[in-house]
Amino acid sequence: MTKGAPFLGPSKLRLPHMKVEKPSGKTEAEIQLDLMTSQLEEELEAEEKAQIIGTCEQCGKDVEGERQACQAMGKLYHTSCFICISCGRSLKEKAFYNVNGKIYCEEDYLVYDNFIET
């Protein structure tokens, strides 16, 4: 055994204090992933815009892509156009009532119906 510092064992071993700095910003892999994600989103958006489903019954403009579309009473609407005439809430996938061509959500229809009865 050589002379020098006494063996302190693994639990008492002291290493010099070093601060490891993390590189700031994104790694090359993160940058590449962001670029690919952005490109994919742009391609999907362009593809959806190319898919004109029909014309909105309410506003008369083209309905592009299924996410914008809402079909009710055999007609096509933008999701943003198919709303309750009273409160303005979207009626996509919700109960609604057509009263003389005016569309109401269930809550407002019940108020309307009670008002008419009294």
- Res 6 pLDDT > 70: no
Q: Residue 3's pLDDT is what? A: 62
Structure tokens at 6: 């006494």
Is 18 among the domain residues?
Answer: no
Which residues span the domain enclosing 56?
A: 52-82
Instruction: Please name the residue that has the structure tokens 């690919």.
Output: 36
**What's the pLDDT band for 8 if we cut at 50, 70, 90?**
low
Both 72 and 96 in one domain: the answer is no
From the CB of residue 23, how many other CB atoms can be counted at a distance below 10 Å? 6
Structure tokens at 118: 């009294």
pTM as predicted = 0.54
Both 118 and 87 in one domain: the answer is yes
Both 90 and 107 in one domain: the answer is yes
Instruction: State pLDDT tens for residues 76-115.
Output: 999 999 999 999 999 988 999 999 989 999 999 988 766 6
